[in-house]
Every structure is written in C-alpha cells, then in structure tokens.
Amino acid sequence: MNKEKKYIRLKEQIEKLIKDVSNPISRMATINSVLHHKMPGFFWTGFYLLDNRGELIVGPYQGTLACMLLEKNKGVCWAGINSKETVIVDDVDNFEGHIACSSLSKSEIVVPIFDKDENITGVMDVDSREKANFDETDKKFLEQIVYMIYH
C-alpha cells in the first residue's frame, strides 16, 4: 500500500478511536501508538509540549528513551515552535543545533500543534533511522492528524 493510502486508512482509524475522549494527552497517546506501530520507518514517534514556563518538555511517545527537556531555541522541535510551520530535516547531521536523543535517528519531521484558540501548545516529532524518510505526504497527513488533537 502506498503512503497516501496508508495515511488515509490510519486517519480514519484514529478518528474513530479518539472521538469519545477529548483530553489532548489521551488523544496524543493514541495517535502515537497507531502511527508508531503502523507507519514504516517511524523509529521514534512523540510529542514535545510547551509548559507554563515556556519550556519544551517531553509528552507521550513511543520509541527509545527521549530527552525530557529541550534546550530553548535549539534543535528541530524548537525550530517548529518558533516558525509555527512543519519542519522536515532529511539529514539531521546537516541541521545546525539538532538535538540527538538517539544517534540512530537520521531524518526527522516536526509538526506544530495549535489549540482551538490557535495558540501553539507543542509539536509532534517523528524520527527515522533512514535519511530523507519524510516528504510532503507526511507533512500533509501529519498536519491533519495533529489538528484532530484539539478539534
């Protein structure tokens, strides 16, 4: 099955799974589990969330042990927070300031999350062991899936 078709199926599955519980953390945890286990190449799948002190701390995730706290304004997750745009990194070694929680991660996508008032609350972060694993299809569908957290 191609990636587009797979995302369409998983999106429908996630919609059904999360509809009865609006708690964003519960939704993130469910989204995480579905994507991590069903999308090929998702080596680390998770969320980093802004806390009330403006720090970016780890949220629900699946995969190897992750950094609890990300140094402010450094790395790919903070680039997503600061730009409020999805960031795709084909080769993490070429991204200035990239924070390596695992040396096995080679490429990465970071998708910002907005609540109902359009405030940014954090990012979804997916890492792959393959270089250039993420493209415009991942961007399109992960943005749609992340939107479902608060809507």
Identify which of 93, 64, 97 has the alpha carbon closest to the alpha carbon of residue 82.
Answer: 97
Residue with tokens 């304004």: 73
Q: What's the burial of 40, exposed, middle or buried (CB within 10 Å: 0-12/13-18/19+)?
A: exposed
Which of 18, 81 has the CB closer to ligand SME? 81
| Positions 3 through 42 that interact with ligand SME (CB under 6 A) | none
The correct pick among 70, 111, 113, 149 for binding ligand SME (CB under 6 A) is 70
Q: Does 109 bind ligand SME (CB under 6 A)?
A: no
Q: Are 38 and 141 in contact (CB under 8 A)?
A: no
Give the interface segment with ligand SME, choosing from 12-20, 25-33, 100-108, 133-141 (CB under 6 A): 100-108
99 binds ligand SME (CB under 6 A): yes
Question: Which residue is associated with the tokens 């403006």?
Answer: 54
Q: Binding of ligand SME at residue 138 (CB under 6 A)?
A: no
